[in-house]
Amino acid sequence: MKQIALYGKGGIGKSTTSANLSAALGESGRSVLQVGCDPKHDSTRMLMHGEPLPTVLDLVRERGAAGVALEDVVRTGYAGVRCVEAGGPEPGIGCAGRGIIATFQLLEERGALEADVIVYDVLGDVVCGGFAMPMREGYAEEVYLVSSGELMSLYAANNIAKAIARLAERPRCRCRLAGVILNAKGMEREEELVRAFADAIGSRLVAAIPRDRVVQLAELHRRTVIEYAPASAQASVYRRLAEDILGNTAMSIPRPLTQDELESLALEYTTL
Give contact residues for another protein (rule: CB under 8 A): 57, 60-61, 64-65, 88-90, 93-96, 98-99, 102
Active site residue 185: no
* Rounded least distance, CB 40 to another protein, Å: 15
Pick the closer one to another protein by CB: 61 or 185.
61
Minimum CB separation from another protein for residue 256, in Å? 23
Sheet holding 2-8, edge to edge: 75-76, 82-85, 32-37, 117-122, 2-8, 142-147, 176-183, 205-209
End-to-end CA distance of the chain: give it in Å, rounded.
Answer: 47
Region of 120 (left: φ > 0; alpha: ψ -120 to 50; beta: rest) is beta
DSSP result, 1-63: -EEEEEEESTTSSHHHHHHHHHHHHHHTT--EEEEEESTT--TTTTTTTTPPPPPHHHHHHHH
Q: Considering 42, 125, 185, 244, which one is annotated as catalytic?
A: 125
Nearer to another protein by Cβ, of 29 and 94: the residue is: 94
Q: Which of 14, 38, 121, 212 is catalytic?
A: 14
Quickly list DSSP for 137-175. TTS--EEEEEE-SSHHHHHHHHHHHHHHHHHHTSTT---
Q: How far is the CB of 97 from another protein (least distance, A)?
A: 9
Q: Do 117 and 4 contact (CB within 8 A), yes or no?
A: yes
For residues 93 and 220, which CB has a smaller minimum distance to another protein in the complex?
A: 93
Cβ at position 50, least distance to another protein in Å: 25
Least gap, CB of 93 to another protein (angstroms): 4
| Nearer to another protein (CB atom), residue 54 or residue 80 | 54
> Exactly one of 2, 40, 162, 185 is catalytic; which is it?
40
Active site annotation includes 40: yes
Q: Given the complex with another protein, which of 71 and 90 has the nearer CB atom?
A: 90
Q: Distance between CA 191 and CA 207 in Å, rounded?
A: 10
The set of catalytic residues is: 9, 14, 40, 125
